[in-house]
Amino acid sequence: MMKEFILGIVQGLTEFFPVSSSGHLALFSKLMGLPSELPFFAFLHLGTFLAVLILLWNDVVGLIVGLFRWDKSTVDLILKLIVSSIPAGLIGVFFQEQVNQALSSQKLVGVFFLATAALLWISDEFSGHKTMGQITYVDALVIGLFQAVAILPGVSRSGLTLIGALMIGMVRADAFKYSFLMSLPVVLAAGLFEIKGVTFTAGAFAGFGGALVAGLASLALMRYLTVSSHLKYFSIYLLIPAIVSFFVG
């Protein structure tokens, strides 16, 4: 149970930091002698889904209320979030086997760690003026394509979607909100899709709890680091798991 709890902590800390939670789960599973089980990993993602829901609760409620009132700007934003979610959803449905194979190659995960590090290094140079309500549907699709690439282990979802949002000219505070709001349907769908393969043991629930608590802490810190333009420091950290991945792979 302790090993599963540690994996939950790893998931919670790395899901929101731009360092790739899937890559770290694969690496820590390897180091602790646990199999890289995609259903269990997806269950841990549900813990971090709940963390996002809690921290962005006001924004989520605002979207729901605006939808029921059929507020044009709210409906428009929801449709853009849906557009951003489609590419990753299609990849998850039609390329699940290839993702599983990528999880089994730790050296490949190391390569993806390095690719994420390179992108994060330049991320703090981007700045913009667009709010969530001002982006176009093309902008939403671009961010969604970044999220689709991040389904690969070692590629950070939060990192790539933030970079995508910043590249199309969003202000940093809104880029943060948009990145994590658009993660909700994808993470929920992935978790529910794989939940049939989860063995619900005490260890599984310990991992879920660890992911939730650590996720809340890391998400709050990530919001500060995004707005203050300090994402590039994560690229330096990513050199460590990349090197370890090459040695243990």
**pLDDT, tens only, 76-96:** 999 999 999 888 878 777 766
Does the pLDDT value for residue 19 go beyond 90?
no
Q: What is the mean pLDDT of residues 171-193?
A: 85
Burial string for 222-245 (b: 16+ CB within 10 Å, else e) reads bbebbeeeebbebbeebeebbebb
Q: What is the mean pLDDT of residues 186-212?
A: 81
Q: pLDDT digit string (tens) for 27-54?
A: 777 777 766 666 777 788 888 889 999 9
Q: What is the mean pLDDT of residues 105-111?
A: 79
Q: pLDDT digit string (tens) for 115-131?
A: 888 888 888 788 789 99
Domain ranges of the chain: 2-248
Say if pTM beats, i.e. exceeds, 0.95: no
